[in-house]
Chains A and B, each alone.
Chain A
Amino acid sequence: MRTGLFLTVAELLYILAAALFIIGLKRLSSPATARSGNAMGAVGMLLAVIATLVAERILSPWAMIGGLAAGGAIGAVLAMRVQMTSMPQLVAVFNGFGGGASALVAGAEYLRTTEATPALDFAIIGVSVLIGALTFSGSVIAWAKLQEVMTGRPITYPGQKLVSGALLVVILLLGVDLVLVGSAPTAETSIAAGALGGGGGVLVALAVLSLVLGVLLVIPIGGADMPVVIALLNSYSGIAASATGFVLRNNMLIIAGALVGASGIILTRIMCQAMNRSLANVLFGAFGGGDETAGGGTATGGTVREFSPTDAAIAMSYAQRVVIVPGYGMAVAQAQHGVKELAELLSSKGVDVRFAVHPVAGRMPGHMNVLLAEAGVDYGRLKEMEEINPDLPHTDVVLVIGANDVVNPAARNDPGSPLYGMPIINVDEAQTVVVMKRSMRPGFAGVDNPLFYNENTRMLFGDAKDSVAKLVQETKAA
């Protein structure tokens, strides 16, 4: 560490960087300023790195340059190549790397500890490694589920919560042990340290078990609950950075980490509220769980009325107001471009077309908005649930594309339904509802949807992309 002027300059740069982060995040509150906000964040990060180079004497620049070059290249390739539909996976991966980096930095700091190091520091290192490692492995599992490398369904086994809880207790005990060994580095004070070859062994054990815990915590969570998991992991990666900031006594890390931690927590809360479920229920409820046949297709019975693409195209072409409700099915089918074309076509016929986006539609917060923006839909047409619901009774046609649970009226009027209480888009209040769906299979929650049997509902069966393409053709003709 250098002294005097260098240090002052570095601190000032850190303050500037922190200010840029905050202003940058603030500018994310409007699409018009968001891009510059993100750029300010990037400049802030650059300043933070420069500040560090000013404050510290870098003795071996090559390792550093190599690391920066490799990481930068990998990050850039991932960022430029990713398909917008795969965005949730990528964010999960980046989260994981952030958490992993925090754990590694804390681990490296552990190597510098001496007998004079305060006990509290060992505790903070333990916390940093725990959260960082858990974020890393949890994110890898989230990635695997989203990428469908592994099943998106919840993986459960008897006593799951007990096992995870016990593992956490063991990790915390190792943390206590780490502090004890650290403050009195003789093997007798710790059984674990003796067996594991000193304090370093304890830390490695702690790291490994934290990795396992991350896996165990994410596997019971189903695909459609991923928005919550990603938001939560986002928060963890921030908290891990903050914890590392405490280890390094660096305010920059503490501030940036706290901002991200707060952001992740807020998004987690919004997602949970949008599903009317507690965080505990999302994390441990194994929602949409094991029994795939629960509430199977014909349980409700009733008549299903079908629409051909021609019927649907005519209904929409001669409507005044059309609202399109996209869901994860649109993303899976990559139908967003066709949907945009359809919306433009209807617009050119004088139809007022808007999009209603449920907060948890898709696999991460705001997923549908990004896909529609990619397709070139004017963001002024994208409406939130609260905004569109009062208009639905005067809407002629609602077109539901690959959404199910978020438009299930049982959430409003069937106290027995697992979805009961979840705020939904009230599409059933529109004059006509056209539901595009592959088959009559229930949605992620495994709950049958009475919407499909309503008087004013018409089913349009088939792959979303094909159906949208047919709708476009028929609308041109209509």
Chain B
Amino acid sequence: MSLLIGLYVFVLAVFVGVEVITKVPQMLHTPLMSGSNAISGITIVGAVLIAGRLESPLSTWLGVAALVFATINVVGGFLVTDRMLRMFRRPPPKGGEAGKGSGA
């Protein structure tokens, strides 16, 4: 894969990201942040490669350290986001709808 193709992919992905994320409401900015943060743990892919490659002890150690870091990021990030999103709920119609209706 050439670097130039990588650059195409990068630029297009940035545009997709901007389009998708601009639509996220302020209410969900914290989950957006921690969820996207978990996605940035994608380095886990690189870390898996290196930790499993058995090239030199130093390389393996770097790989394992990277793997621990990235896995904390991924597992922790997705779990905590889920914990938060579970809390965003609507209680049984009566209370919530009344509040909303008269406010409009």
User: Which residues on A are within 8 Å of B, measured CB to CB?
Assistant: 21-22, 24-26, 28-31, 34-35, 37-39, 41-42, 44-45, 48-49, 51-53, 56, 58-61, 63-64, 66-68, 70-72, 74-76, 78-80, 82, 84, 87, 90-91, 94-95, 97-98, 100-102, 104-105, 107-109, 111-112, 120, 124, 230-231, 234, 237-238, 240-242, 244-267, 270, 321, 344, 347, 352-354, 357, 359, 364-367, 369-370, 373-374, 376, 378-382, 384, 391
Contact = CB atoms under 8 A, between A and B. Distances in A.
Q: How would you classify the secondary structure of chain B's contact residues: helix, strand, loop or mixed?
A: helix
14 contacts: A25-B24, A66-B64, A70-B68, A75-B79, A76-B79, A94-B38, A98-B69, A105-B62, A240-B43, A241-B42, A247-B46, A261-B14, A365-B29, A380-B96
A38 B31 contact: yes
B6 A254 contact: yes
A60 B54 contact: yes
Interface residues of B, number: 90
Given A67-B64, A256-B39, A259-B39, 7 more contacts: A45-B44, A64-B64, A95-B73, A97-B69, A260-B40, A263-B21, A384-B26
Contact of B80 (A39, A79, A251): A79
Contact of A255 (B13, B27, B28, B52): B13
Contacts of B97: 380
Q: How would you classify the secondary structure of chain A's contact residues: helix, strand, loop or mixed?
A: helix
Interface in B54-104: 54-56, 58-60, 62-91, 95-100, 102-103
Contacts of A258: 9-11, 13-14, 17
Contacts of B74: 45, 71, 75
A411 B50 CA distance: 53
Contact of B26 (A24, A38, A359): A359
A374 B25 CA distance: 18
Contacts of A230: 33
Contact of B99 (A56, A100, A381): A381
Closest 5 CB pairs of A and B: A71-B71, A262-B17, A75-B76, A366-B29, A67-B67
A105 B88 contact: no
Contact of A45 (B17, B39, B59, B69): B39
Contacts of A78: 72, 76, 80
Nearest to B77: A94
Nearest to A262: B17
A231 B11 CA distance: 20
A71 B67 contact: yes
Contacts of A37: 35
Which of A61, A104, A357 counts the most B-chain CB atoms under 10 A from its CB?
A104
B48 A253 contact: no
Contacts of B63: 63-64, 67, 104-105, 108
A316 to B, nearest CB: 14
Contact of B32 (A28, A52, A102, A373): A28
A88 to B, nearest CB: 8
A41 B38 contact: yes
Contacts of A241: 40-43
B75 A72 contact: yes
B26 A63 contact: no
A94 B36 contact: no
B96 A260 contact: no
Contacts of B78: 38-39, 41-42, 45
B80 A82 contact: yes
Contact of A374 (B20, B27, B50, B87): B87
Nearest to B76: A75
Which of B76, B81, B82, B84 counts the most A-chain CB atoms under 10 A from its CB?
B76
